[in-house]
Amino acid sequence: MRKIYLIGIGPGDPDYLTVQAINAMRKVDVFFLLEKAGGKNEGLIKIRKEILIRHLDEGTYRVVTAKIPERKKGGKAYETYKERVETWRQKKAEIIAKLIKTEMKDGEAGAFLIWGDPALYDGHLEILGHIAKEGAVNFDYEVIPGITSIQVLTAKHKIPLNRIGESIVIATGRKLKEYSNNEVTNAIVLLDSYSAFKCFQDTNIDIYWGGYLGGGDEILISGKLKDVIDDIKKLKNEAKKKKGWLMDTYILRMPEGSESNKKTSSMSFPFVGNPSELHEESKKDCGRAAMTDDFRFGLKENEIIHLRGLITKDEVRAVTIHKLRLPQRGVFWDIGAGSSSVSIEAARLYPELKVFAIEKDEEQINHIRENKKRFNAPNIEIVKGEAPDVLKELPVPDRVFIGGSGGRLKEIIDYVIKTQVKLIIVNAATIETMTDTVQCFEEHGFNVAISEISVSRAKIIAGKKHMSALNPVFVIKGER
């Protein structure tokens, strides 16, 4: 029977190979090296070849190289991120099965040299399990663990992975973006092409960052995130331009004894308690001015910084929030956020909800920043740019509100629907916008509900109260 070894080789330095890994390599007849389309992992292939040369005698093994397709990135596909990964792994499985069948004789041993450890953010274990289950080729396989970049990072920075009585969360950059600032106490982050740490730059959190860990080009930075974030961004950009790739790992950790650290030991526990307690915690964490009133919902227009007249009116905002049926946790997109009145209300109502306020106008963005500080809403991330262009880098939403579209309503709705979101709310001030919205929803098979909100407010005229009407607003709900 053929046998496959999945051998963890550590994060790059040949010295990080374990004795078990070297002994396993010496049993191997053929090593499979998988090249990404376009040569994007050329540097990683080179390191693997250097490891073979260093630890094995020439002529005792052979190398077979095969090209694998590049995984389709998010944004324009109908399927979810998980579905895209599964589709890509299926294609990769077909290539690997063919290699085992055609490049190995019965009784031979083959191997894949896995970066870090095969069990941590690597799909080969699941792929081999799938191939074996399908039964297209008969083989056995064994896993040889390796040193991870996490271990190397903590060793280089001379810090423990976890502190006494405290847990640590392991996440990707994609998942980290879904968490609120006040949830992150001790987290290690891998595979972060998003630079998701920028979501936490307004907090008191520390970062321990490393790139090309264990290699000759190793880069290390540590300190208060807000103090070193510009240096990290600059180094990341320079490294990618120079080498074409970057593998970085980092820990985000609240200082020991901080109030946020006392409140919870990981991102896994929701906040339960009085709203004023959350405000007080936010004040201690970030040193921001805060409203300390005992309410989460019902801000007045004059309490929210905004351009004159350009704000979702109180009554309309209340209906909008109600129609959105926001989850306690998850991802909420506020597209055309304006002054962020809807974002602020949503963020205060649900502190564990990750709110993305998307806005292209610089003056409005400044207002969002001020409102975010004023109302202690660390779970809001400001996204500068025009939708739908800037949406592709965001995590998949659970709810979407469109308050402004800049004339690109159909493009935005078409894009949002492709994320598989279940519920979208659009506020329209004109009959034309309402008609276009309904048409878009119906084209995609959404159930449509329309509410017209007509509000009149009392005004004093000649010493007497008279009702003065505001412009009506259509609240359109599209739901799968």
CATH class of 275-479: alpha beta
- Note the pLDDT of residue 278: 34
For residue 310, pLDDT over 70 is answered with no
Average model confidence (pLDDT) for the chain? Answer: 86
For residue 91, pLDDT over 80 is answered with yes
- Note the pLDDT of residue 272: 35
pLDDT tens digits, one per residue of 9-50: 998 788 899 999 999 999 999 999 998 876 666 778 888 999
Could you give the percent of the chain with pLDDT greater than 90? Answer: 60
Top-confidence residue, 243 or 252: 252
- Of 93-97, 270-274, 418-422, the range with the lowest mean pLDDT is 270-274
For residue 185, pLDDT over 70 is answered with yes
The whole-angstrom separation of Cα 84 and Cα 90 is 10
For residue 271, pLDDT over 60 is answered with no
For residue 462, pLDDT over 70 is answered with yes
For residue 250, pLDDT over 80 is answered with yes
Q: Determine the average pLDDT of the residues in 198-203.
A: 86
Confidence of residue 470 (pLDDT cuts 50, 70, 90): confident
Fold of 150-263: 3.30.950
- Of 128-132, 415-419, 455-459, the range with the lowest mean pLDDT is 455-459
- Note the pLDDT of residue 269: 32
- Note the pLDDT of residue 40: 61
For residue 328, pLDDT over 50 is answered with yes
Tell me the domain boundaries of the chain.
2-146, 150-263, 275-479
- Of 257-261, 376-380, 465-469, the range with the lowest mean pLDDT is 257-261
CATH class of 2-146: alpha beta
For residue 268, pLDDT over 50 is answered with no
- Note the pLDDT of residue 232: 95
For residue 316, pLDDT over 50 is answered with yes
- Note the pLDDT of residue 177: 77
Are 473 and 429 a contacting pair, CB within 8 Å?
yes
- Note the pLDDT of residue 398: 94
